[in-house]
Amino acid sequence: MDEAVCAIRPGMDVARYAHLLARVHDALLSGDRPPAHPRRLVARSWQRVRAQGVDPDLGDPPDPLGPAEVERRRARSPLGRVLPELRAALTSVAEDARHIMVVTDADGVLLWREGATSVRLRADHLRFAEGANWSEGVVGSNAIGTALAEGAPVQMFAAEHFVRSHHVWTCTACPVHDPRTGELLGVVDVSGPAETVHPTTVALVGTAVKLAEASLWRQHESRLEALRTMAAPLLAGVRGAGLVVDDHGWVAAVTGMPSVERIAAPRPDRPISVHGIGVCVPEPVPGGWLLRAGTQPHRIRLTLDLASRPPRAVVDGSTRWVHPLSTRHAEVLVLLARAGVPGMDAAALSAALYGDRAHVITVRAEMSRLRRTFGGLLLARPYRLDPDTEVIVHGLAGSALLESSTAPGLRGVPGAVAERLPS
Residue 286 in any domain: the answer is yes
Is position 83 within any domain? Answer: yes
Looking at residue 399, its pLDDT comes to 78
**Alpha carbons 280 and 293: distance in angstroms, whole number:** 6
What is the rounded CA–CA span in Å between residue 98 and residue 94?
6
pLDDT tens digits, residue range 240-296?
888 999 988 899 999 988 888 888 888 876 777 787 777 787 888 878 888 887 644
Q: How far is CA 17 from the centre of its chain?
A: 34
Strand ranges for 147-204 from DSSP E: 154-157, 169-177, 184-193
Task: From 228, 262, 292, give the residue that closes a domain.
Answer: 292
The C-alpha atoms of residue 401 and residue 393 are separated, in whole angstroms, by: 13
Do 211 and 258 lie in a common domain? no
Structural domain including 125 reads 14-218
Angle between the 360-374 and 346-354 helix axes, to the nearest 10 degrees? 100
At 339, which amino acid appears? A
pTM assigned to the model: 0.72
Is residue 226 assigned to a domain? no
Q: 187 φ, ψ to 5°?
A: -140, 140
> Residue 422 has what DSSP assignment?
P
Residue 3 counted as domain residue: no
Helix pair 346-354, 327-339: axis angle to 10 deg: 120
CA distance 243 to 245: 7
Q: What CATH code is carried by the domain that includes residue 344?
A: 1.10.10
Same domain, 244 and 310: no
Q: Which residues, listed in sequence order, are joined to residue 110 by a DSSP beta bridge?
A: 104
Q: Are both 156 and 245 inside the same structural domain?
A: no
Considering the domain architecture, whether residues 81 and 195 belong to the same structural domain is answered as yes
The Cβ of residue 190 has, within 10 Å, a number of other Cβ atoms equal to 27
Identify whether residues 352 and 391 lie together within a single domain: yes
Within the chain, which residues score under 50 in pLDDT? 1-2, 295-297, 416-423
Helices 327-339 & 360-374, crossing angle to 10 degrees? Answer: 90
The reported pLDDT for the residue numbered 414 is 60
pLDDT for residue 174: 97
Say if residue 195 is in the same domain as residue 53: yes
Cα dihedral 318, 324, 325, 330 sign? positive
Domain boundary among 226, 258, 292: 292
Handedness of CA 9, 14, 19, 25 (dihedral sign): positive
Same domain? 137 vs 171: yes
Task: Examine the domain organization and report whether 148 and 197 are in the same domain.
Answer: yes
Residues 319 and 408 in one domain: yes
Rg (CA), the chain: 25
Distance CA 151, CA 208 (A): 17
Cα four-point dihedral sign 254, 256, 260, 262: negative
Q: Which of 275, 292, 309 is the last residue of a domain?
A: 292
Question: What's the CATH code of the domain at 80?
Answer: 3.30.450.40
Whether residue 307 sits in one domain with residue 287: no
Determine phi and psi for 98, rounding to 5 degrees. 60, 50
Neighbours of 192 (CB within 10 A): 24
Residues 144 and 241 in one domain: no
In this structure, the answer to whether residues 81 and 154 fall within a common structural domain is yes
329-363 pLDDT per residue, tens: 999 999 999 999 899 999 999 999 998 888 888 88
Residue 34 located in a structural domain: yes
Asked if residue 8 is part of any domain, the answer here is: no
- The pLDDT, as a whole number, for residue 299 is 67
Domain count, the chain: 3
Q: Is residue 224 part of a domain?
A: no
* Predicted pLDDT of residue 1: 34
Whether residue 297 has a cis bond before it, omega within 30° of 0: no
- pLDDT tens digits along 77-86: 999 999 999 9
Q: Do the domain assignments include residue 358?
A: yes
Distance, CA of 352 to CA of 363 (rounded, Å): 11
The answer to whether 244 and 208 have CB atoms below 8 angstroms apart is: no
Contact, 265 vs 375, CB < 8 A?
Answer: yes
Interacting residues of 95 by C-beta distance below 8 A, sequence separation 6+ = 115, 116
pLDDT at 389: 82
